[in-house]
Chains A and B, each alone.
Chain A
C-alpha cells in the first residue's frame, strides 16, 4: 500500500530553518537552532536524541501545539506558523492524532467514550460515533473491552485505547511521543507491531519519538536530534 513515496504532490511536512527560543537576552535558550525536515505522506519516521536535544520541542511544533520562533512549517502546504490558536486546534482536530508516553486517557471514563472524544468535537452524530469508535477499538484488538475504564485496563491495553483514539478520525499524521516508554518489552513490541501495521495497511504517516533503538527499528527512517539540530538522517538499524 502507501509507502515512503506517496502519490500526493508535495511533502506532508516541511520544516525550514525552524528555531524555537525560550526566554530572552542572556537567559535565552535555543531549543531549536534551525531545523530542516521533510516527511512524505505514508512515512514511518522515528525521532531520536538525548534529552534536551530539542526533539520534544520539535514534536510540539509538528503537533501544532506550539509555534516556531522563526522559520516556516508547512503541513500539507498550509503555513502553520501563520495560524492562530483556534485554527491550529481545528487542524489538530481534522488531521492529527496523538499518542503519549503516559497514555493520557480520561480517568473513570470508558474505553469507548475515550475513543469517541475526538469525534464529539468533530460533531459526528452519536450513532456514527459509536460505530467508528467500536471499529477503532477492534482494530487495536480491544473488542469486548469497550466498557472498561483505564483503571481496569493494563498499561498495554491503555496504550491501545490511546492509539484507537488517535486513529478514529482517520488522521493524516499520528504523533507518538515515546509510546512504549511506560511498557515492558513484550507490550512494547506489540504496540510497535500495531503501529507498523497501521502505517502499512492504512497508510497513516507516523512520527514517533523514542530513545530505544529497538523501537526505532520499526521505522523506515530515523532522524537524530542534537543541540537543537537534526544531525543525521538514516535508515534504522536492522531489527535482530
Chain B
C-alpha cells in the first residue's frame, strides 16, 4: 500500500512537472543555502585552525603593555635579555624561548626596494615559530655573538627583491648596513589575521640592537611550551615571575601580557562559527518559506482534485488512506527538493570553495540533517492540506465541479 501511495505521488508530481519544480524551488534553495554556508564555514574554520597550528598551538607570546593593537606598550618598559634568560631558566615547561625586537624598514637591493619588518632574534626564534628553511642555513654561534651583518629572509622579500635569482650570498641594504642573505625560509602564506607571514627579514639580535635600533630593548618574548604541559599553568607562572621582575605594584595591572595562541585560535574560529550559524539561520528561513509554498500548492491540488477524492472515498478509501496519499505527495515533493538542493549545494560549495580559496570540507551530518529537515517540512506543511482532503464529505466532493 505504501508503495502504491508512493507511485501515485510520483505520478501526480510528474503530471505537473513545471508546477512541482517551482514548488520545490523554495526547498531546493533553502537546503542548498544551508549546506553551502555550513560547508564554507567549516572550510574557513579549518583554514584558520591550520594556519594557527602552523604557528604552533603551544606558542606563548609575552608582549609589553596590556593590549594588542594601537597604543600597546606605549609607556610600559621593554624587556631585557635578562628577562629572556630568566624565563628560560625558571619556566621548566618552556622548550624554547626567543626574545626579539622588530622594526619596519625599507630593504634595498640594486634598484628594487621593499618595505618590510626586520626582526632581531636568534635561532630559537625559528624553532618557536615553526619556521623551516627552503635554502641556505641559519645563524652560526659566532655570527650571533659577534653581531655579524647576516640575515634570513622570507619568501615575499625574496620575490620582491630578487625575483627568481638565487638570494643566498647576496647583500640587502637596510639603512646603513649591508646584510648578507644566508637563508631562505619556506613559505607559510597568509596568516589567520590576513597578514603576509612571509614578509620578514631576520638578523641576529645583537646585530639588530647595535646597528639598527641602537638600544638593548627586547619587545617580544616568544616561547613554546613542551607537549603535554598546560599552557594555562605556564602562563600563570610567567605572569607571576614577570610582575616580580618588572616591579609591578600588587595593586596595579600587569604592564605586559602573556597570550596563548590557543586563545587566539579559539577567538578567530569562534567568530567564523557565529557567522556561519547566523548565515545558516537566514538560509533556514528560506526552507520555511519553501514549506509554505508546498502547503499552498497542496491546498490548490486538494481543491482541484476534490472530485477524485470523492471517488476514492465513495469506493471505500479510509480517511487515513486519503490523508496518507496527500501527505506522502507533500513529503515526496519536499524530499525531492531536498535532494536537488543537496546536489546544487555540492556543486556550489566546490565552486565557491575554490573561488574563495577555502578548503572544501564535506560535512556529512549537515547534509543528512538538511535532507531530513526538508522531509520534515513536507510532513508539517503537507499535513493541513492532507487532513482537509481526508475530511471531505464524499457526497459534497462528488458533486464538486
Contact = CB atoms under 8 A, between A and B. Distances in A.
B76 interface: no
Given A60-B395, A106-B308, A65 B318 contact: no
B319 A86 contact: yes
Interface stretch (A114-122, A138-146, A178-186): A114-122
Contact of A117 (B310, B315, B320): B315
Closest 7 interchain pairs by CB?
A: A93-B316, A92-B316, A118-B315, A104-B311, A65-B394, A89-B318, A89-B316
B315 A86 contact: no
Contacts of B317: 89, 93, 121
Nearest to B310: A104
21 contacts: A60-B395, A63-B314, A66-B395, A85-B319, A89-B313, A89-B317, A92-B315, A93-B315, A93-B316, A94-B316, A104-B310, A105-B311, A106-B308, A106-B311, A108-B15, A117-B312, A117-B315, A118-B316, A120-B1, A121-B317, A165-B315
A240 to B, nearest CB: 34
Contacts of B93: none
A120 B311 CA distance: 13
B124 interface: no
Contacts of B316: 89-94, 96, 118, 121-122
Contact of B398 (A91, A104, A105): A104
B131 to A, nearest CB: 72
Q: How large is the interface on A (under 10, 10 to 19, 20 to 34, 35 or more residues)?
A: 20 to 34
B2 to A, nearest CB: 11
Given A96-B316, A104-B310, A121-B317, 9 more contacts: A65-B314, A86-B320, A89-B316, A90-B316, A92-B316, A93-B315, A98-B315, A104-B307, A121-B315
Interface string A40-80: 00000000000000000000100101100000000000000
A123 interface: yes
A65 B395 contact: yes
Nearest to A103: B311
B326 to A, nearest CB: 15
Interface residues of B, number: 20
A100 interface: yes
Contact of B319 (A89, A92, A106): A89
A100 B395 contact: no
A223 B344 CA distance: 66
Contacts of A118: 315-316
Interface string B316-350: 11111100000000000000000000000000000
Interface of B: 1, 4, 15, 307-308, 310-321, 394-395, 398
Contacts of A106: 308, 311
A93 B1 CA distance: 15
A85 to B, nearest CB: 6
A60 B316 CA distance: 14
B318 A86 contact: yes
A24 to B, nearest CB: 18
A118 B398 CA distance: 16
A75 to B, nearest CB: 14
B300 to A, nearest CB: 16
Contacts of B394: 65
B315 A100 contact: no
B112 to A, nearest CB: 78
Contacts of B312: 117, 121
A121 B398 CA distance: 18
Contacts of A100: 398
Contacts of A121: 312, 315-318, 321
A120 B316 CA distance: 10
Nearest to A85: B319
A135 to B, nearest CB: 18
B313 A120 contact: no
A120 B314 contact: no
Contacts of B308: 106-107
A122 B318 CA distance: 11
A176 to B, nearest CB: 13
A51 B1 CA distance: 41
Contact of B314 (A86, A92, A108): A92
Given A63-B314, A92-B314, A123 B319 contact: no
A109 B57 CA distance: 68
Contacts of A122: 316
B382 to A, nearest CB: 21
A174 to B, nearest CB: 12
Interface string A110-133: 000000011011110000000000
A54 to B, nearest CB: 14
A98 B313 CA distance: 11
Contacts of B311: 104-106, 117
Nearest to A60: B395
B126 to A, nearest CB: 76
A120 B318 CA distance: 12
Contacts of A120: 1, 4
A93 B311 CA distance: 12
Pick the most buried of B307, B310, B315, B317: most chain A CB atoms within 10 A of its CB.
B315
